[in-house]
A = this chain, B = another copy of it.
């Protein structure tokens, strides 16, 4: 599929967001990170807000593709891979600048229905995927039969979101939570004996 002019604008938005954060960002900052002029950006998007709704939509499509790609041979491995994916840092993964900007956007959500709906989609997509992996693992006998898939998804998603917040607000390392959650999965969810065979 040929790249659309808007693709380049959304990529420039990502770069500008990492550089300036959300609150102070202007369409000029995005133009400065783009081959397109400010006028061209305004031709495609009426306002910074419209551009950001499109940006979040694009980000969501990308996110769901990545979540769908997370795989593992067993349900235990799939769950650990989802935790790993959600708390990855370094390499190609969005860094602290981007996470900081996303936290700013989260703090806008109570005032902005469009942002809130989109963030709810992100949240729900991960929760649904975790819930279905846990449910399948319980069904297969890999996870204990007293594990409730919905509650477990609730717990893991909340902890993952908290890890992102703490990474930004108090510079708390993501890898500590990754280890803690991996241990939680192994010791509290995996059924006795399943560790060996999985």
Chain A interface residues (CB < 8 Å from chain B): 21, 23, 96-97, 100-101, 103-104, 106-107, 109-111, 116, 119-120, 123, 146, 151, 154-155, 157-166, 168-172, 176-177, 180-181, 183-184, 187-188
Residue of B nearest to A104 (CB): B107
| B23, B104, B166: the one within 8 Å of A161 (CB) | B166
State the CA gap A96–B183 with chains docked (Å). Answer: 33
User: Which residues from B are CB-within-8-Å of A151?
Assistant: 180, 183
Q: How far is the CB of A76 from chain B (nearest CB, A)?
A: 17
By the criterion CB–CB under 8 Å, are A177 and B165 in contact? no
Q: How many copies of the polypeptide does the oligomer hold?
A: 2
A110 and B170 contact, Cβ closer than 8 Å, known pairs A103-B103, A155-B184, A180-B154: no
CB pairs A–B below 8 angstroms (30 shown): A21-B111, A97-B110, A103-B106, A103-B107, A106-B107, A106-B165, A106-B168, A106-B169, A107-B169, A109-B168, A110-B168, A110-B171, A116-B169, A123-B166, A123-B169, A123-B172, A146-B187, A151-B180, A154-B176, A154-B180, A155-B177, A157-B166, A158-B162, A158-B163, A158-B166, A158-B172, A160-B162, A161-B162, A161-B165, A162-B162
Q: How far is the CB of A158 from chain B (nearest CB, A)?
A: 4
